[in-house]
């Protein structure tokens, strides 16, 4: 019988998003691949420290039981296979049940999202995230300088989403960027009866909503919409969620206030936003990721040697 991941929430994650390989990556960027590989060989039995997305992965995997595997986490990395041994050893040492991994030794790995059917791709490599989003997969560039997740809610997966260009399309945001707040408010008032088009992270929210419906003793999911929208533009966001038959547990309509302090109170295991300013502000308080677009403001300059994922 063929094994399939079709009935699972699938998270693809790079080694640097799950574990702290920043020291090794700096060596890779400033020396050569052979020196990096030698260091990884020397450290094969040394477990890496927890990375920014570790808490999210650990809690999602807690939804698995001996009777049913509901979540699959797959390492998808530019690392070489030898370095992959250290990744799996680090996971085993941390009590993370990883079974699958793809290691491409420098080649872009995002194409493997298709056979995985991934609901989420988290990577410390910004260019890979951009390409994954272009392919239609929810993806975020993990800010490895983010604060670690709070340990205050061990039995609750907490995830916070921006609205426009994340859960919803960037239709309204384009109006705001091009014409300003007054035009944005007018646009939203005129379209108040029309749901917003789907954004790149709607599939992830849908998958989380399905997981929320399953009773797993000792675990639950709590979601939050954290948006710069304010009244009256809040109506269309809520009506869109209602049209999807999906509810979020909390909604914050901040009208341009900094999101960081509010996220600090919510204490998410991860926060997704498309604006680098919001992500940097949030990263001082919580694990954060940038939902990149192809806009000039977010495309990184080219590098001689791409960073590891």
* Among 134, 101, 111, 132, residue whose Cα is nearest residue 15: 101
Phi then psi for residue 46, to 5 deg, are -100, 110
The count of C-alpha atoms lying within 13 angstroms of the C-alpha of 81, restricted to the half-sphere facing its C-beta, is 0
DSSP 228-288: S--TTTHHHHHHHHHHHT---SEEEE-TT--SHHHHHHH--SEEEES-HHHHHHHHTTS-E
The active-site residue out of 7, 32, 80, 162 is 162
The count of C-alpha atoms lying within 13 angstroms of the C-alpha of 270, restricted to the half-sphere facing its C-beta, is 28
Cα–Cα distance for residue pair 161/137, rounded to 1 Å = 16
SS3 222: strand
Cβ–Cβ < 8 Å for 74, 60: no
162 in active site: yes
SS3 223: strand
Active site residues: 162
């Amino acid at each position: 019988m063929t094994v399939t991941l079709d009935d699972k929430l699938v998270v693809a994650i790079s080694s640097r998003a799950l574990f702290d390989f920043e020291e090794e990556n700096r060596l890779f960027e400033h020396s050569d691949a052979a020196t990096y590989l030698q260091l990884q060989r020397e450290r094969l039995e040394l477990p890496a420290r927890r990375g920014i997305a570790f808490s999210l992965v650990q809690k999602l995997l807690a939804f698995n039981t001996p009777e049913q595997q509901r979540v699959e986490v797959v390492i998808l990395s530019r690392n070489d296979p030898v370095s992959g041994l250290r990744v799996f050893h680090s996971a085993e040492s941390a009590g993370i049940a990883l079974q699958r991994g793809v290691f491409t030794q420098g080649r872009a790995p995002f194409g493997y999202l298709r056979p995985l059917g991934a609901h989420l791709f988290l990577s410390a490599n910004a260019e890979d995230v951009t390409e994954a989003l272009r392919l239609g997969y929810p993806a975020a560039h993990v800010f490895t300088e983010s604060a670690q997740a709070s340990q205050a809610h061990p039995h609750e997966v907490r995830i916070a989403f921006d609205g426009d260009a994340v859960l919803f399309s960037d239709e309204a945001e384009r109006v705001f960027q091009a014409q300003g707040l007054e035009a944005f408010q007018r646009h939203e008032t005129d379209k108040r009866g029309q749901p917003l088009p789907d954004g790149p992270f709607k599939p992830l929210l849908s998958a989380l909503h399905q997981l929320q419906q399953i009773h797993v003793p000792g675990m639950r999911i709590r979601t939050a919409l954290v948006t710069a929208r304010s009244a009256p533009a809040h109506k269309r966001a809520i009506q869109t969620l209602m049209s999807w038959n999906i509810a979020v547990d909390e909604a914050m309509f901040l009208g341009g206030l900094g999101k960081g302090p509010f996220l600090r109170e919510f204490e998410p295991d991860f926060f997704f936003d498309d604006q680098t300013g919001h992500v940097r502000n949030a990263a001082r308080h919580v694990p954060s990721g940038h939902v990149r677009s192809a806009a000039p403001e977010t495309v990184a300059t080219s590098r001689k040697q791409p960073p590891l994922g």
